Amino acid sequence: MSAHYRTRIGSFKGTFDGDNKTISNLTINSSGDYVGLFGSFISGTVTSDTVTVNNVTYYASPVTLKASDTNAIIQSTSYTNNTDGTVTVTPTADTNISNAIGFYYAVSVPNCVQSVSGTEAEVDGTKYYQNGSTLTLTAKTGYVVDNVTVSSDTSITATVDTTNHYAFKDGDGYTYATNANVAQKSYPDLTRVYELNLPEGVTVMGDSVVAIDGTTYAAGNGSDTINAGNGDSVYLVDITLDEITIDTVTASAVAFSFSDGGKLTVNDNNSGVSFTVGNETYRLNGNREFERK
């Protein structure tokens, strides 16, 4: 509808259905009272949600606000928050919505993150986090993740902890974990592995043994076996005595349990094999008892 200056409609009584139409080029040239499209309402309702006059939209009934970004919802401390992530506002004089709502964004959390702590809202099982807030992330075993600030394109970056060695279950065995292969595998659960410094002629058996670049590692939750002969030395690297328990000692073998839950059996056949952990070296004497060498 387009209009130039005309005499206003006087006192209005009844129902005005704007039908979401636009009134353009409307000029009200008066400094007196009761100025507007309608001089006054005696009684009546505006049935349409909106009427636009001179490019300004007026809301005449409760309206629902929804984030235009499909990755976001909105929340408010002043208006009604709906369960679907929208906000309902009943307009009043000089309603200013701009500072009364906040955006919450969905964040893609990789499998290597144990937990996420932050200001959140949940819709249909999806968690959304407050824009500009900090997410505190706890990584699973073997991973390193940094806390992030929430935005419309929040990205969580994870790397393998380089202070120790880790591997992941891959088919019937284990694969040594690197930043590239864990990302390719969607960040699988990792198990700490321990470097075995093996002398010549010593072999290792077990489904949790990992070999890479000439170095052999044994997974901490596996059950592995080393066959050692007379004069051989077994070195347990990247582990302390506090993390090792002597499980069983037999006439031909000794079994160690690790704090991670794994087990290593050394078939020494009572041949004088020595065991080194850190700077300490031990051997089994004739009574099959450990003594410092």
Q: What is the pLDDT of residue 145?
A: 96
- Domain ends where: 159, 187, 214? 159
Short-list 106, 109, 108, CA closest to 120: 106
The pLDDT of residue 245 is above 70: yes
DSSP string, 254-279: EEEEETTS-EEEEE-TTS--EEEETT
The answer on 172 and 283 residing in a single domain is: yes
- Return phi, psi of residue 181, to 5°: -75, -25
The answer on 148 and 241 residing in a single domain is: no
Stretch among 34-43, 57-66, 102-111, 126-135 having the lowest mean pLDDT: 34-43
Q: What is the pLDDT of residue 217?
A: 76
Domain coverage including residue 286: 165-292
The pLDDT of residue 13 is above 80: no
Specify the higher pLDDT residue, 214 or 83. 83
The answer on 284 and 190 residing in a single domain is: yes
- Domain ends where: 125, 159, 193? 159
Q: Which residues contact 264 (CB under 8 A, 6 or more apart)?
A: 218, 223, 224, 225, 226, 236, 255, 256, 258
The answer on 142 and 171 residing in a single domain is: no
Q: Dump pLDDT digits (tens) for 174-231.
A: 889 999 999 999 999 998 887 777 666 666 766 667 777 777 777 655 567 778 777 7
The answer on 287 and 169 residing in a single domain is: yes
Q: Dump pLDDT digits (tens) for 41-69.
A: 444 444 445 656 556 666 666 788 889 89
The answer on 205 and 243 residing in a single domain is: yes
What is the total count of domains within the chain? 3
- Domain ends where: 138, 159, 180? 159
- Rg value, the chain, Cα: 36
Residue 74 CB-half CA count within 13 A: 20
Stretch among 43-52, 69-78, 120-129, 252-261 having the lowest mean pLDDT: 43-52
Question: Can you tell me the mean pLDDT for 6-30?
Answer: 57
Mean pLDDT in the chain? 79
Task: Give the ranges where 154-282 is alpha helix by DSSP (H).
Answer: 179-184
Q: What is the pLDDT of residue 179?
A: 96
The answer on 42 and 126 residing in a single domain is: no
The answer on 143 and 241 residing in a single domain is: no
The answer on 281 and 177 residing in a single domain is: yes
Q: Is 248 helix (H, G, I), strand (E, B) or coil?
A: strand
The answer on 67 and 28 residing in a single domain is: no
Q: Dump pLDDT digits (tens) for 135-153.
A: 999 999 999 999 999 999 9
Q: Which residues contact 151 (CB under 8 A, 6 or more apart)?
A: 105, 131, 132
Q: What is the pLDDT of residue 152?
A: 92
Distances in whole angstroms, Cα of residue 182 to Cα of each of 158, 173, 207, 288: 9, 15, 20, 43
The pLDDT of residue 10 is above 60: no
Structural contact between residues 41 and 9, judged by C-beta atoms closer than 8 angstroms: no
Q: What is the pLDDT of residue 285?
A: 83
Question: Can you tell me the mean pLDDT for 243-268?
Answer: 83
The answer on 109 and 203 residing in a single domain is: no
Quick one: tokens of 266?
A: 């050394």
- Bridge partners, residue 195, by sequence: 217
Question: Can you tell me the mean pLDDT for 9-27?
Answer: 57
The answer on 243 and 186 residing in a single domain is: yes
